[in-house]
């Protein structure tokens, strides 16, 4: 989704530049005002006199991108009023439906559906009649509680991202561990993803992770206790398309080429563990028993549980 938005942004920018060259006008990405000492301060143009999501106000005068967090309803009514001279070029949300990306246009007064635990991203393009100003932004509506969720971190899994929410509009400012000998924190090299930091298990034990993030420019702090445990070996054996997967080498992920349109998946799990779901094809949950088949190519993931512990193993099953 993030890559899609960047691509759309680039395409819009090219379109506006082309229009400006054709019409002989200047495209402004922002209004400019003089600062207190004569400096120039960029102020993003705001096309909306008002904008609400499920009754909550969104202020585009502060930032082009905004986040509606801790949203609990299954639907949200989208309403707005435009400032004088502005018009909506395009306002939509995108989702994958049956493996294909689908864009749905939204008009003021429309009601959109948000799945539990999901994020609905509205994308906004707006401009003035003479194209002298343009606006590109959006709103993420997160139907889940924004928080750190203390989980089990398995030894043998070198790194896993710190998860505080599902929005690219959030910035992780700082993440710290109370016990780096048990669970260390590593800043990602590019630090451009929505995560920003990884957790690196060192030895079995507990550690409190503190994460500071910025949402809509406001800094928030979250804490949670994480438990580091030895690798569970929850999957005892796995065979895909007749090929045995080396689970000592492929602890959490495998890539399998079958050469066939379908592949039989055979597996055994360790004592005490349960198969909560075998999941593939977007958001469709499938209870796949050992010996069942999946079409190729498909992403297949096992979600295994033991009490409060959870273990994921996923693989790309290719033709």
Range ranked top by mean pLDDT from 238-247, 281-290, 298-307: 238-247
Position 171 scores a pLDDT of: 73
The yes/no answer on whether domain 152-229 falls in CATH 2.60.40.1080 is yes
Nearest to 178 by CA among 159, 202, 156: 202
Inform me whether the pLDDT recorded for 194 exceeds 80.
no
Question: CB count, 10 Å around CB of 166?
Answer: 17
How buried is residue 3: exposed, middle or buried, by Cβ count under 10 Å (0-12/13-18/19+)?
exposed
Least confident range from 3-17, 62-76, 113-127, 162-176: namely 3-17
Position 11 scores a pLDDT of: 38
Inform me whether the pLDDT recorded for 83 exceeds 70.
yes
pLDDT band at 26 (very low <50, low <70, confident <90, very high): very low
Residues 6+ apart with CB under 8 A from 289: none
* Mean pLDDT value across the chain: 81
Inform me whether the pLDDT recorded for 108 exceeds 60.
yes
What would the mean pLDDT of 279-299 be, rounded to a whole number? 80
The structure tokens 């008002």 sit at 50
Distance CA 135, CA 243 (A): 53
Position 41 scores a pLDDT of: 38
What would the mean pLDDT of 95-99 be, rounded to a whole number? 70
Ramachandran assignment for 232, one of left (phi > 0), alpha (psi -120 to 50 degrees), beta (any other): alpha
What would the mean pLDDT of 291-317 be, rounded to a whole number? 90
Position 12 scores a pLDDT of: 39
Question: What letters, b where the CB count within 10 A reaches 16 and e where it falls short, cover 66-98?
Answer: bbbbebeeeebebbbeeeeebebbebbbbbeee
Inform me whether the pLDDT recorded for 291 exceeds 50.
yes
Least confident range from 24-28, 68-72, 250-254: namely 24-28
The answer to whether 108 touches 78, Cβ cutoff 8 Å, is yes
pLDDT band at 15 (very low <50, low <70, confident <90, very high): very low
| E strands, 31-161, in order | 31-34, 40-43, 48-53, 56-57, 65-68, 75-82, 86-97, 100-105, 111-113, 119-128, 134-142, 152-154, 160-161
Inform me whether the pLDDT recorded for 39 exceeds 50.
no
The answer to whether 134 touches 98, Cβ cutoff 8 Å, is no
What would the mean pLDDT of 225-233 be, rounded to a whole number? 94
Choices 2.60.40, 2.30.30, 2.60.120, 2.60.260: CATH for 235-318: 2.60.40
Query: Hey, what's the torsion of the CAs at 185, 189, 194, 195, to 10 degrees?
Result: -20
Q: Cα–Cα–Cα angle for 10, 63, 191, nearest 5°?
A: 65
Global pTM? Answer: 0.67
Task: Return the percentage of the chain with pLDDT > 90, whole number.
Answer: 49
Question: CB count, 10 Å around CB of 53?
Answer: 22
**For the chain, which residues make up each domain, given as ranges?**
2-142, 152-229, 235-318
Nearest to 86 by CA among 34, 114, 33, 45: 45
pLDDT band at 157 (very low <50, low <70, confident <90, very high): confident
User: Fold match between 152-229 and 235-318?
Assistant: yes
Inform me whether the pLDDT recorded for 190 exceeds 90.
no
Of residues 35 and 212, more confidently modeled: 212
Position 8 scores a pLDDT of: 41
């Amino acid at each position: 989704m993030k890559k899609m938005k960047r691509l759309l942004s680039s395409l819009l920018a090219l379109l506006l530049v082309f229009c400006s060259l054709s019409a002989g006008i200047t495209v402004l990405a922002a209004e400019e005002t003089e600062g207190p000492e004569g400096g120039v301060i960029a102020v993003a143009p705001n096309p909306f006199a008002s904008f609400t999501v499920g009754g909550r106000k969104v202020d585009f005068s502060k930032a082009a991108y905004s986040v509606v967090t801790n949203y609990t309803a299954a639907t949200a009514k989208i309403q707005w009023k435009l400032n004088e001279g502005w018009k909506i070029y395009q306002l939509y949300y995108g989702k994958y439906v049956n493996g294909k990306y689908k864009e749905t246009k939204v008009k003021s007064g429309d009601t959109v559906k948000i799945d539990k635990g999901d994020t609905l991203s509205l994308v906004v393009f707006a401009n003035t009649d003479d194209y002298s100003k343009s606006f590109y932004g959006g709103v993420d509506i997160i139907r889940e509680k924004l928080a750190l969720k203390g989980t089990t971190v398995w030894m043998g899994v070198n790194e896993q991202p710190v998860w505080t929410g599902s929005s690219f509009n959030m910035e992780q400012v700082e993440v710290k561990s109370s016990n780096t000998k048990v669970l260390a924190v590593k800043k990602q090299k590019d630090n451009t993803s929505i995560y920003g930091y990884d957790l690196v298990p060192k030895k079995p034990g507990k550690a409190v992770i503190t994460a500071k993030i910025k949402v809509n420019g406001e800094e928030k702090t979250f804490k949670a206790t994480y438990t580091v445990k030895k690798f569970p070996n929850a999957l005892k054996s796995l065979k895909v398309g007749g090929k045995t997967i080396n689970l000592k080498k492929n602890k959490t992920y495998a890539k399998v080429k079958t050469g066939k349109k379908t592949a039989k998946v055979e597996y055994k799990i360790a004592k005490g563990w349960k198969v909560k779901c075998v999941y593939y094809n977007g958001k469709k949950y499938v209870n796949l028993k050992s010996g069942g088949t999946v079409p190729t190519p498909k992403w297949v993931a096992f979600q295994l549980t033991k009490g409060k512990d959870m273990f994921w193993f996923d693989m790309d099953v290719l033709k």
